[in-house]
Structure 1
């Protein structure tokens, strides 16, 4: 028997594999505290939960529509991507936006949306870098994300940040066909090559894979097969499987040993993937409409309220 309890302030989620034990536990809590049983989970912290024979579907549709309404964009034309391709937000030197507090309010709300909208990760990552002194162009870019919401609702891009020249690393962890974890993050140091940037991203992703592997084990979901790590950099994959350190990669020795240990232990299997189908691209760069829509569909993101 397994019983799980998730607590946030005075809200609780109770789950497990024994309905009788769950009912008994709720009865015990009702004796200890004044508690209201709302039945099967439908809405929790702004996240809507729907069920189907295929599993659960998480959505923040109401939360997103509230943002659209607050911004006064209910009647505006939607856009197909959250951020314009080939944008120059990091180097923009136009006038500062007159209401930085409102900018921070909007970006803060968009951050919470990334819990169920992984395709917003790159856009929100970019916008969050200008919280202190946003410019008008930054506000316009944030409004574009809201327009996208109205309509819709392991990678490294070497030296992609023109302010620091540090690369962006992004990953997505899939459990079957369902996205489990995702993130966009700027590298802590400047990478000397695209290979180094890709390999650092691999190390970053492997740590996340190990964490999710342990977390799933705690929930009684064993995973005995090697975790498969996809990457489009053949040179980075060769470093992962080759114990010989070349001169150009000697400064990566710590990360190399970490990834190689997992590879040799049999808990990690690497695989090359074509760039055009690389899901992590959606976390590290602004894409065109066609590629963005393709990768978003591959992520398993669906609009349950869209007309059929």
Structure 2
């Protein structure tokens, strides 16, 4: 290491410092940095959120200021402009940082604004992925995964390049932050990271070919005049050919906008389709409770109960009927948790048919598809002016 300024005169030519311990790379470095930043935010009057420890909030005169941080990148928002300017001045005095202006690009996620709302996508990230894999000119496909794929570990099958497979799947996992349409497919291929086979690599490359035709897709946030919380849950029964575990998934809407989604294989083997759906309800309900708590902390407590949509009547009846001991004692914890929230009026469990659920989802996606089409066809990078008229 070169000698620090002020000590140069004490060193002969070609002499350097012997570095005993590096600051960057230490395991305690992230904790020390975040601890110092947290103390500084509390000194400025901000409160650390209990729902998300990287979120800091301050309420003043019925106005709120929010700061969320990821390592050393942060986003500041709110409706208290005076407090936001004061916070920036304090941070500039305490730490070495700069203001990049309105949010346009954050951790690989592009933020586009228009009169219709805020649109999040990762178009550049996808194009870089296509270029890295040499598939920039490949033929696109309509779906990210074939129907009834039945991917599993085969005996004596050809192995794929493990390092390349893990690198591609890791990139796809990060890409699913703004692409709920690939969440299930990415969840499936990520199960074979330890020993990928040729069939698994083909499934990964199919996802990339699907991305080739949908580079401009993303998530649209717009004002719908309410902040109702809705969640949709579903599960397949014994869908995994290898270990017969079910895969459950959910997504949540706040004010009609898609905010969280997840697809994950269950930890135990379900003995019936009702049980697999029931466990899916439990995971979806946990997400709804977290969102309700987060909204309350920000200053928008939910009014009334939240709807948790399910297409399995047996699972709903088990949730509402306490006299089903023999059928439910193996899932007793989930049953008691759901029943408690139902009786408290925090959630509702309306029945919705699968075809109606799909139609409702497609209807809510129409406006987002129109905006994505406009952004792609008009090649608009910053649609802050006249985008609505152009569309």
Note whether the superposition's TM-score is higher than 0.5.
yes
Q: In structure 1, what is the Cα distance between the partners aligned to 2:328 and 2:200?
A: 37
* Deviation, structure 1 residue 205: 1.0
Stretches of structure 2 that go unaligned for 5 or more consecutive residues are 1-59, 216-232, 378-390
* Equivalenced residues, count: 295
For the structure 1 residues 250 and 27, does the alpha-carbon distance in structure 2 shift closer, same or farther, using more than 3 Å as the test? same
Paired residue secondary structure (2:152): helix
Match of 2:308 in 1: 229
Paired residue secondary structure (2:350): strand
For the structure 1 residues 8 and 246, does the alpha-carbon distance in structure 2 shift closer, same or farther, using more than 3 Å as the test? closer
Q: Does 1:96 align with 2:159?
A: yes
Q: Does 1:306 align with 2:369?
A: no
Paired residue secondary structure (1:306): helix
The one of 117, 126, 129 aligned to 1:55: 117
Match of 1:87 in 2: 149
For the structure 1 residues 296 and 62, does the alpha-carbon distance in structure 2 shift closer, same or farther, using more than 3 Å as the test? farther
* Deviation, structure 1 residue 132: 1.7
TM-score for the superposition, normalised by structure 1 = 0.90
Q: Deviations over 1:48-88 (max 9, x none)?
A: 11122343211111111111111111111111111111213
TM-score for the superposition, normalised by structure 2 = 0.71
For the pair shown, the structure with the greater C-alpha radius of gyration is 2
Decide whether the 8 Å contact of 2:151 with 2:241 is kept in 1.
Answer: no
* Deviation, structure 1 residue 91: 4.7
Match of 2:293 in 1: 214
Decide whether the 8 Å contact of 1:110 with 1:124 is kept in 2.
Answer: yes
* Deviation, structure 1 residue 13: 1.0
Q: Does 1:66 align with 2:134?
A: no
The one of 283, 287, 297 aligned to 1:204: 283
Match of 2:102 in 1: 40
For the structure 1 residues 63 and 135, does the alpha-carbon distance in structure 2 shift closer, same or farther, using more than 3 Å as the test? same
Match of 1:287 in 2: none
Q: In structure 1, what is the Cα distance between the partners aligned to 2:363 and 2:246?
A: 21
Q: In structure 2, what is the Cα distance between the partners aligned to 1:278 and 1:132?
A: 36
Paired residue secondary structure (1:162): coil
Q: Does 1:180 align with 2:243?
A: no
* Deviation, structure 1 residue 303: 2.4
Q: Deviations over 1:272-295 (max 9, x none)?
A: 11112445xxxxxxxxxxx9x959
Match of 1:284 in 2: none
Q: In structure 2, what is the Cα distance between the partners aligned to 1:83 and 1:298?
A: 22
Decide whether the 8 Å contact of 1:119 with 1:296 is kept in 2.
Answer: no
Paired residue secondary structure (1:259): helix
Q: In structure 1, what is the Cα distance between the partners aligned to 2:236 and 2:357?
A: 12
Q: In structure 1, what is the Cα distance between the partners aligned to 2:332 and 2:97?
A: 54
Q: In structure 2, what is the Cα distance between the partners aligned to 1:182 and 1:198?
A: 16
Q: In structure 2, what is the Cα distance between the partners aligned to 1:119 and 1:10?
A: 30
* Deviation, structure 1 residue 255: 1.4
More relative contact order, 1 or 2 (CA 8 Å, 6+ apart): 1
Paired residue secondary structure (1:37): coil
Q: Deviations over 1:87-127 (max 9, x none)?
A: 13215443111x21011000000000111101111111111
* Deviation, structure 1 residue 306: 2.8
Q: In structure 1, what is the Cα distance between the partners aligned to 2:364 and 2:144?
A: 12
Match of 1:282 in 2: none
The one of 191, 196, 203 aligned to 1:134: 196
Q: In structure 2, what is the Cα distance between the partners aligned to 1:238 and 1:148?
A: 39
Q: In structure 1, what is the Cα distance between the partners aligned to 2:356 and 2:245?
A: 24
Of 212-221 and 230-239, deviating more is 212-221
Stretches of structure 1 that go unaligned for 5 or more consecutive residues are 280-290
Q: Does 1:266 align with 2:335?
A: no
For the structure 1 residues 113 and 295, does the alpha-carbon distance in structure 2 shift closer, same or farther, using more than 3 Å as the test? farther
